[in-house]
Amino acid sequence: MTYRTEHDSLGERKVPAQAYYGIQTLRALENFEITTIPVSHYSRFIQALAVVKKAAAMANMELGELDSAVGEAIIHACKDVRQGKLDDQFVVDVIQGGAGTSVNMNANEVICNRALELSGHEKGRYDIIHPLNHVNLSQSTNDVYPTALRIALVWYSRELLHGLRELRDALSRKGAEFGNVIKMARTQLQDAVPITLGAEFAAYAVTVNEDIDRLEEVMRLLCEVNLGATAVGTGINSVPGYGARACAILADVTGLPISQSANLVEATSDAGAYVTLSGLLKRTSVKLSKICNDLRLMSSGPFTGLHEINLPPVQPGSSIMPGKVNPVIPEVVTQICYQIIGNDMTVTMAAEAGQLELNVFGPIIAFNLFQSLEILTRGVHTLRKRCIEGITANDERCLELLKGSLGVVTALAPAIGYEAAAKVVKQAQETRKPVGQVLDEQGLMTAEEYNELLDPSKMLAPRKLPNRKAAEDK
C-alpha cells in the first residue's frame, strides 16, 4: 500500500494514498473504536451531509466568497457523495466525542479529495482545494452536523410514515372484514361485554393513524435548522446573508420546507426536537407492542386458549414439540419496541446533558434515533406483511366463548338494577345454572324478555333501555 503525508495542528501522519478521507478522519478511526458501525451505515445521513455542503458552496459562490471553479468542483463532489459513490470512505464510528466534528471532517476531506480528483489533481493537494478553507467555508460542525442530522431524520421518518400508513390501511381492512364477528370484550383480562372483532381492529387502525399525524408534525419541526449559526449561533466567520441564502438553497435542493431558526443561539444549544421525535417513536412503540400482545392473547391456544383468531404460520415453533407454531412476528415486533423505548431514555439523557451554548452529545442522539427509525420501519413492514394481512377469524369459537360468558348480563342492570343483576350473576356462578333460568326462577324476567335484552347483536351500540323504575316496581 502506498501513502501520502498529511499534516494537521498535531503533526504529520501517513494516509493511504487511495483514500478520499484525510488525516483527521484517520485520527478519529484510531480514537473511536466503539460500535464498529461506520457512520456510512446510515446512508441518509451521508446524503444529508452532501446536500448541506452543496448548499453552503452554492451560497458562498453567490456571495463571492468562493471561487467558481473550486465551488463547481465541490458541488460535483457532493453529487457523487449523495449518490452513494463514496459511502465506503465515511469510516468514522457513528459514536464519537467532539460533538460530531469527526463526521464533519470526514465529509470535508472526502468531498475535498473528490473535488481535487475531478479537477485533475492528486488527493491531498490542499493548497488547491482545502477541506476547511473551501469545503467548510462559512460553516462549523455545530451548524452542519445538526442540520444534516435533521434532514436525515426527516428522510428516515418519511420511510416510517409510509410503513405506518400501510399498516393502518391493513388494520382498517381487517376491521371491515371482521365487522360481523361478535365476541366477548375483556377488561383486566376478565369478561366484559360483547364487541365485534372488527371494532377491535378498527381501533388499532385509529391509534396508528394518530401517530401518523403526530409524526408529520415532528417532521415539520425538524425542518427548522441552524445552518448559518456557525460555532455558537452568532454566525462568526460567515458573511451577511449567507445563512438565509444557504437555507433557501437547501430547501430547493432537498425539496423540504427548510427554514432557518429565528434564534440561532437557541437552535444551536437546544435538542428539544430530538426529544420530541424520540418520544413519539416511544409512543408508537408502546402502541404497537400493545397490539402485538393483544394478537398473541387472541390467538393463544389453539386448543386451550382463546383462539379467536389465527395468525399466519410463518415457521415451525419448537425443536421438541412437533406441530407447534409460535406468534414469532408479534414477538419480534415487541422486542423492537422495547429497544426503542430504551433508546428514548438515552436520547433524553443526552439532550438534558448539553451545557451552555452547545450540546456535544449529538452522535449518541443520532445513533439512537437512526436505529429507532430504522428498526421500527422494518418492524412495521414485517408486522403488516407477515402477520396482519394473513390473520383470519374463528367465528364459531368467538360465539362459543360469548355464549359461555356471564359478561352479557351487564345488559340486565338497567332492567332489574345493578345489585339484583350482581346477585343473579353470583347465583349462576355458584349453581352453574344458565342466567335465563335463574331469572325465571326468581321471577325477575321472562325467557322472551331475557332473550331480547341479552341478544349480543343488540349490545354493540347505544339503545333505548327498559325503564328501571318500572322494573323495580315490578
Query: In the numeric block, which cell numbers belong to residue 149?
Result: 442530522
Through-space distance between the first and last CA atoms of the chain, rounded to whole angstroms: 101
Please, are residues 279 and 215 in contact by the beta-carbon 8 Å criterion? no
Q: Which residues pair with 309 in a beta bridge?
A: 393
To the nearest 10°, report the CA torsion of 10, 11, 17, 20. 20
DSSP state of 239: -
Residue 302: cis peptide before it, omega within 30 degrees of 0: yes
Please, are residues 279 and 344 in contact by the beta-carbon 8 Å criterion? yes
Distance separating alpha carbons of residues 220 and 242, to the nearest angstrom = 23
User: With the C-alpha atoms ordered 263, 267, 269, 273, is the resulting torsion angle positive or negative?
Assistant: positive
Alpha helices (H) along 178-256: 197-222, 242-254
Closest among 137, 136, 141, 150 to 225, alpha carbons compared: 150
- Residue type at 343 in one-letter notation: N
Strands (E), 23-120: none
Residue tagged 360481523 (cell numbers): 180
Helices (H) and strands (E) counted in the chain, each on its own, are: 17, 8
Distance separating alpha carbons of residues 247 and 228, to the nearest angstrom = 8
Closest among 270, 272, 248, 269 to 259, alpha carbons compared: 248
Q: Which residues of 249-287 are buried (b: 16+ CB within 10 A; e: fewer)?
A: bbbebbebebebbeebeebbbbbebbbbbbebbbbbbeb
Q: How many CB atoms lie within 10 A of CB 322?
A: 8
Please give the positions annotated as active site: 318
Q: How many CB atoms lie within 10 A of CB 138?
A: 23
- H or E segment and range at residue 182: strand 182-187
Query: In the numeric block, which cell numbers belong to residue 243?
Result: 445563512
